[in-house]
Amino acid sequence: MPRADTARDRILDAFQRVLISSGERAATLDAVAAAAGVSKGGLLYHFASKDALVDGLLERLDTFAAADDERMRSAPEGTVDYVIRTSVEEGSAFDEALIAVSRLAQGSHEKARTALAAVRARWETAIAAAVGDPAVARTIMLVSDGLYYNSTLLGAFETSDTRDGAMDELLAVLGRLTPASPGPAAAS
Amino acid sequence: MPRADTARDRILDAFQRVLISSGERAATLDAVAAAAGVSKGGLLYHFASKDALVDGLLERLDTFAAADDERMRSAPEGTVDYVIRTSVEEGSAFDEALIAVSRLAQGSHEKARTALAAVRARWETAIAAAVGDPAVARTIMLVSDGLYYNSTLLGAFETSDTRDGAMDELLAVLGRLTPASPGPAAAS
DNA sequence: GTCTATAGGGTGATAGAC
DNA sequence: GTCTATCACCCTATAGAC
């Protein structure tokens, strides 16, 4: 179901690509159809309306988010490490769906914004479970939000943030906030 | 110049209002003209094109940002306190211009994104000057970004963040990161 | 300065051929 | 399943009356 080479999936891939590289406004049915290598009519056979196309992408995001949820909680480096490091784009399928939906949310699409908030809620819950102090958990979540905001919305990571070791530095700073316990390895 | 009741300013106010409440896509010349109480033709007399309208808003933002820069550096509560607290919407004229430009940046508008990055750069510089450690400064800036992301883009502050004292709590957590010196009062 | 009218281009969606 | 018209609508911008 997730990685089939059906026409539907190829169209969703194209939709994502156009959204990510050119934004919501450019993601017209015409543009998506062209990127998918079909005509507008062909696209509309698989997705009866633009809203249906959006819903398809939102479902895809939800599938990926559920998978990420498990990975996040069982991450060997620890939940906080995992969440912070994956806050900045790395090119996974989940990432791509997430950024595409972000572009959608940037437009006006209410459903996309809700879906995004739901993904964020998963992260927040996991961080709260990993760190004792709720105020610290909130701080860490906000840092994650900040990384995400910079990398996907502002597109401004030419400065210090791509630098190798910047992430380790950041995690070291955040590590100082959890008085009791483990940044890395809360082991078995 | 900044607070005159000229027709230009009334139109820019209307542009802001529509952008904030209905998003970039809804901010058509028709909608802005209606909100400003003029016709489309009337609007286009003052701003020759939609691009000119955007430029007008960007100039307004820059004026406010320059004023904010001074306030930020001379804030009696300290720069970090000031930046963090003003990261979440409070309804100032600066805020409104900032959010309006954000909505614009959410579309595709490159100039708006650049303007937003410039404002962020002002904050980052000021924080770096106030806090010794650059890694800590970056962390604080990311928290500010996160607050901004949540309040203006996700619109998700119904949870813990509006709560009275949430900001104090957050600032207390961040205060633990500056080993040497003063959250509040680096006084005279 | 502000209005109405209209040109010109793009967008989502339908109908019907293949 | 996929394509080529084609429709109705909305958006920016211009022209010219008042």
Q: How far is CA B58 from CA B8, B33, B64, B99, B161, in A?
A: 14, 19, 10, 11, 29
Give the closest nucleotide to A51 (alpha carbon vs C1').
C12
Interface check for A22 against chain B (CB to CB < 8 A): the answer is yes
Interface check for A117 against chain B (CB to CB < 8 A): the answer is yes
CA A34 to chain centre: 25
Q: Rounded to whole angstroms, how far apart are CA atoms B124 and B126?
A: 5
- pLDDT per position as a tens digit, B41-58: 999 999 999 999 999 999
pLDDT for the residue numbered A162: 66
Q: Rounded to whole angstroms, how far apart are CA atoms A173 and A71?
A: 24
User: Tokens 């009275």 correspond to what residue?
Assistant: B164
pLDDT for the residue numbered B158: 52
User: Quick one: DSSP state of residue A77?
Assistant: T
Return the sign of the alpha-carbon dihedral for residues B130, B133, B136, B141: positive
pLDDT for the residue numbered B185: 44
The three-point CA angle A59-A64-A70 to 5° equals: 135
User: Tokens 């940037």 correspond to what residue?
Assistant: A106
Q: What is the mean pLDDT of chain B?
A: 90
Higher-scoring residue by pLDDT: B179, B148:
B148
Does B39 contact strand C, using a CB cutoff of 7 Å? yes
**Stretches in chain A below the pLDDT threshold 70:** 1-4, 156-162, 179-188
> Which residues of chain A does B138 touch, with a Cβ-Cβ cutoff of 8 Å?
160-161, 166, 169-170
Extract long-range pairs of B21-29: CB within 8 Å, 24+ residues apart.
B22/A108, B23/A107, B23/A108, B23/B103, B23/B106, B24/A107, B24/A108, B24/B103, B24/B104, B24/B106, B24/B107, B24/B109, B25/A25, B25/A107, B25/A108, B25/B107, B26/A108, B27/B103, B29/B53
Q: Rounded to whole angstroms, how far apart are CA atoms B65 and B60?
A: 9
Residue A47's Cβ-side half-sphere holds a number of Cα atoms within 13 Å equal to 24
Q: Provide the residue type at A55 as one letter.
A: D
Q: Residue A147: helix, strand or coil by DSSP?
A: helix
Instruction: Show Cβ contacts of residue A123 under 8 Å, excluding neighbours closer than 6 positions.
Output: A72, A83, A141, A144
- pLDDT per position as a tens digit, B149-161: 999 888 755 555 6
pLDDT for the residue numbered B161: 62
Whether A57 contacts A104, CB under 8 Å = yes
pLDDT for the residue numbered B43: 98
CA A64 to chain centre: 9
- pLDDT per position as a tens digit, B59-116: 999 999 999 999 999 999 999 999 999 999 788 999 999 999 999 998 878 999 999 9
Residue A98: Cβ within 10 Å count: 22
Percent of the residues in chain B that have a pLDDT greater than 90, as a whole number: 79
- pLDDT per position as a tens digit, A137-159: 999 999 999 999 999 888 755 55
Give the closest nucleotide to B43 (alpha carbon vs C1').
C2
Q: How far is CA A9 from CA A1, A58, B12, in A?
A: 9, 13, 43
Does A34 contact strand C, using a CB cutoff of 7 Å? no
Beta carbons of A144 and B139 less than 8 Å apart: no
| DSSP-assigned letters across all residues of B83-120 | HHHTTS----HHHHHHHHHHHHHHHT-HHHHHHHHHHH
pLDDT for the residue numbered B1: 44
Q: How far is B137 from chain A (nearest CA, A)?
A: 10
pLDDT for the residue numbered B4: 59
Read off the pLDDT of each residue in B25-42 and give the average, rounded to a whole number: 97
pLDDT for the residue numbered B152: 86
Does B38 contact strand C, using a CB cutoff of 7 Å? yes
Chain A residue with minimum CA distance to B113:
A154
